[in-house]
Amino acid sequence: MADAILTGIPVATGIAIGKAFFVNRNHMANLPRQIVASEDMPAEIERLHAAFKDVEKELTVIRAQVPEELKSHGSLIDTHLMMLKDPKLSGASEKYITSLGLNAAWALEKAVSDQEAAFEAIKDQYIRERMQDVRVVADKVLTKLMGVHTDLSAISGRAIIMAHDLTPADTVELQVDKIMAFATVRGGKTSHTGIMARSLGIPALVGVGRLEDSVHDGDLVIIDGLTGKIVVNPTEHELADYNERAALFEDYTRKIKRHCQMPAETFDGSRVMVYANIELVEEVAAVIDNGGEGVGLYRTEYAYLNRTTLPTEDELAEKYIDLAAIMAPRKVVFRTLDLGSDKFISTFGELNETNPAMGLRAIRFCLKNPQLFKTQLRAILRASAYGNVSLMFPMISGVKEVRQAKAWLAQAKAELRREGVDYDPDMPIGTMIELPAAVLIAEFLAHEVDFFSIGTNDLIQYSIGVDRTNRHVSYLYQPLHPATLRAIKLVVDAAHQAGIEVSLCGEVASDPFCVPILLGMGIDSISMTPQAIPGIKRIIRQTNMHDCRQLLKGVLECRTVSRINNLVMDNIFKHFPEEVTFFSSLLENDELPS
């Protein structure tokens, strides 16, 4: 039996077998905590700022060395450079030195913990996981303060990279041709480690508990990006088994990639559009390579994060026009700003909301800050002249919000018209359906917009009242909860009765077990991470609408999640018996805590 079998969150599929090499371990365990005498504080403050400057210089050099394979991640290093220049983190650390007399490393750790507490209160998983950027920057400064150094040149051949956390800069220093897979202690589903791994086409796991205690440099390890397992020093039998699985997975990947440019059409001729969710313009290559028929969700928040000033209309328009022009004639759906807490846009000061998830965010935040909103609307309108652009509003809870948002859009159009700036006057307008209130009034909202986009991640959380990142209640996060399924069907029916299209852009869209149900409901399009598109297209092409409708009928008659999950799993095992081992699914939790 293997020395250890660890589990983590799979963020890039595949199987890799090789020697482990640790880039960094948790140096926080040895963080020096000392009280500094008042006469020594100026020197400690100087040491703090010198460490920030040293890391900034190092990253600037690394930024210039980004290889072609990781070109799209250069902007992530730019983000880290902006954070180093932003006085917010260094200033908060300095205050802890002067007010409490903490040494520089301890003061920085305290400042980071304060920011982590603020991020933890955010509902949106994607935004919450951006805290990783703050943490990786702070860790680099801490290694300077503590005099820790990792010699990356010690990797003599290809290796499986292990780390407490990884940054794009770490990857550049490592040389991509030596990396077989990643495994980190930190990180979530949207972490940069996963994005980098998918770009390189290698498996990766994040959030691996006991990684630093259970694996040593040079250990033979198996990274299973399909089931989320790490096998440490496997037996010969386990090794042979995984070698066979790896070969089968490579064959499967080649097969689905060969046909990924074909349309997603069922056996009996029903066509479903398959789009991609992206946050960076640099991801369009992955969208096209994987057969994406457009961008169903472009998250516009990235341009607003980790900076001290708001982006200008020209800055936004430049990015938006690039995206629209590159993807044309394919569709691009821009979601307007889905931020809320001013902790991410320091221009607006502190709000100190007790419950930010239900507070001033998304469309509410934009309507309260019309100049910011109009700047973005004008930029999106300008992009509409260069491609097939649609726009949608997030977190809509009522008809009045839609009408207010459309009024600002009309004003932006009028201004551009007076200025002689081109835009598409018929640009489709949609709304996201992610709140139970929006579901219940879908028939009213459908007459206000041109399309719906169902955001299942939020809809599930708000409908069931569960935070899936809370380990005490995460077992309740059930994508196929009867309430969720009825909510989606209600929205689809309302949209079609009003003659508008409905899309779905949550994680459910990329779950092979769930897709047949969505087809049975009559969803017009689904949108997902680009890398999931070839597999989902294959499932759609291998099924027919009659079976999907029968499955939906059976599912809607079920009263428990367990019964629904069993029906759905039986369906997949029946139709894809040889491929099912390569599928990853959200349907892995029971309804009851273990």
Annotated binding site for phosphoenolpyruvate: 299, 335, 457-458, 468
Residue 430: strand pairing partners: 392, 451
CA distances 466 to 123, 475, 477, Å, are 11, 9, 6
Residue with tokens 């029971």: 590
Residue of 260, 366, 505, 514 with catalytic role? 505
**148 contacts: CB under 8 Å, gap ≥ 6:** 24, 27, 142
Q: Read off the DSSP letter of residue 23.
A: E
Residue with tokens 């403050």: 45
For 375, half-sphere exposure in the C-beta direction (CA atoms, 13 angstrom radius) is: 17
CA terminus-to-terminus distance, the chain: 26
Relative orientation angle of helices 74-85 and 41-63, to the nearest 10 degrees: 160
- Are 469 and 457 a contacting pair, CB within 8 Å? no
Closest C-alpha among 210, 208, 224, 171 to residue 193: 171
* 3-class state of residue 142 by DSSP: helix
**252 contacts: CB under 8 Å, gap ≥ 6:** 579, 582
Helix, strand, coil percentages for the chain (3-state, nearest 5): 55, 15, 35
Annotation marks residue 192 as catalytic: yes
**176 contacts: CB under 8 Å, gap ≥ 6:** 67, 69, 70, 200
CA distances 568 to 94, 177, 268, 553, Å, are 55, 40, 21, 12
Annotation marks residue 514 as catalytic: no
DSSP characters for 460-511? HHHHHT--TT-TTTGGG--TT-HHHHHHHHHHHHHHHHTT-EEEE-SGGGG-
Radius of gyration of the chain (CA): 24
Task: Take residue 508 and report the two structure tokens written for it.
Answer: 């459910």
Question: How many whole angstroms separate alpha carbon 170 and alpha carbon 91?
Answer: 26
Enumerate the known binding-site residues. Answer: 299, 335, 434, 457-458, 468
- Are 243 and 17 a contacting pair, CB within 8 Å? yes
- Cβ neighbours, 10 Å, residue 226: 18
Strands across the sheet with 159-163, in order? 4-7, 229-232, 220-224, 15-24, 159-163, 179-184, 204-206, 9-12
Based on the number of CB atoms within 10 Å of its own CB, is 231 exposed (0-12), middle (13-18) or buried (19 or more)? Answer: buried
- Long-range (24+ apart) CB contacts under 8 A made by 441-444 are 441/398, 441/399, 442/490, 442/491, 442/494, 442/495, 443/494, 443/497, 443/498, 444/399
Look up residue 185 and give its amino acid: V
Task: Take residue 358 and report the two structure tokens written for it.
Answer: 């239900």
Enumerate the known binding-site residues for Mg(2+). Answer: 434, 458
Residue of 73, 80, 164, 192 with catalytic role? 192
Task: Take residue 527 and report the two structure tokens written for it.
Answer: 């949108």
**91 contacts: CB under 8 Å, gap ≥ 6:** none
Catalytic residue set: 192, 505
